[in-house]
A = this chain, B = another copy of it.
Amino acid sequence: MIRYNGLMREVNLLVIGFGNVGREFVRLVEKKRDHIKQNYGLKPVWLTVFRRQMRWNIPHDKDILPLLKRDSSSLFYPLQTGNIKDDLKLCLQTASSGVLVDCSVSDPQTGKPGYEIWKSALEAGWHVVTASKGPLVHDFKGLKEASQKKGCQLGISGAAAAALPTVDLARFALAGTEIRRIEGILNGTSNYILIRMSEGQPYVEALEEAQAKKIAEPDPSMDVKGWDTAFKILIIANAVFGAAYNLEDMTVTGIDTLTLKELEEASKKGLRFKLLGRYEKMNEGEVLEVAPKALDPSHPLYPVTGSEKGISFETDTMGTITVIGGRSSPMGAAAALLKDLINICSST
């Protein structure tokens, strides 16, 4: 926001993954190139975008916005070495620092493909900014330690709830407080389906409608069974508390077992069912869980409508702070990646 008066700094960028989010991230950085320079003193320098077993060496000397409208197969060329890890190492060697931006689809059990790639990047002194949850769910602690060893940072907003502020809100706006409880509506698909069900639409129909509107994915099981929410609250809790919780510490219940009758009865009482990710400090220890809950109108997340998201932090000294909103789209995710990139490069 505040115009930058210092020296311009170049930021080398490597991207892995070029689906909707990766493509939108490259486009957003290009569209905001002047804004980023003027306000933060940063000059993004593209090295390479990796996509499956292909690479795109983004040209430095021309406007790439028109290229992004093309079918991406015309941009990408085979890897130099034949495998992505060696190609990436060559890239990391060309510059001593920069930011690896992970927009790939990853496996939360193994962290692949990002996990090993992040490790190489962090060891080479590169920061990592991610929209990909897998590596963080797989081994947050190990990645955090690897980053600290080299004085690098992990930017995880894109994996935590994207455009909805979560971890940076806790880190900066709530600095000095003790956070006792976190509750989040972190999955827009589930929230949308629950709202339609509470209006009387059966689960299957509500899901089909959400799919038709591209709110739900063709395979919605991660969303409706609560796993997407679980990954996000797990990542948020680990980041906020510097902890090492994993999926085994959680109980996860989705919305797919809720009946229309339960929803209708809640509505009659003025309650709204929401799929909540929850962290709470109890006398007997911490609780991490995902479950549908019937909220009364006094609950701070009661107003979250449509495919919106929201998160609420209960603190010792500031009371309860609730954030609602943030665009659920590739653009919102790309904006979250850019935010982390700016905050990391402005602070290091």
Interface of A with B (CB < 8 Å)? 1-3, 5, 28, 32, 35-36, 40, 148, 163-165, 168-179, 240-242, 300, 302-303, 312, 315, 317-327, 331-332, 334-336, 338-339, 341-343, 346-347
Contact = CB atoms under 8 A, between A and B. Distances in A.
Given A318-B326, A318-B335, A321-B163, A1 B242 contact: yes
Contacts of A339: 172-177
B318 A321 contact: no
Nearest to A341: B176
Nearest to A42: B176
A269 to B, nearest CB: 19
Which of A40, A170, A174, A179 has the most CB atoms of chain B within a 10 A radius of its CB?
A174
B178 A35 contact: yes
B36 A176 contact: yes
Q: Please name the 3 residue pairs, one residue from A and one from B, whose CB atoms are nearest each other, closest first.
A: A319-B327, A165-B173, A2-B242
A209 B221 CA distance: 52
Given A1-B171, A36-B176, A165-B173, A319 B332 contact: yes
A81 to B, nearest CB: 34
B321 A321 contact: no
A94 B315 CA distance: 36
Nearest to A336: B318
Contact of A172 (B5, B36, B172, B178): B172
Given A317-B335, A332-B319, A173 B177 contact: no
A173 B226 CA distance: 26
Contacts of A163: 317-319, 321
Contacts of A336: 318
Nearest to A327: B319
Contacts of A1: 170-171, 179, 240-242
Given A3-B242, A163-B319, A175 B324 contact: no
A176 B35 contact: yes
Nearest to A2: B242
Nearest to A334: B317
Contacts of A320: 325
B332 A318 contact: yes
Nearest to A324: B322
A347 B344 CA distance: 12
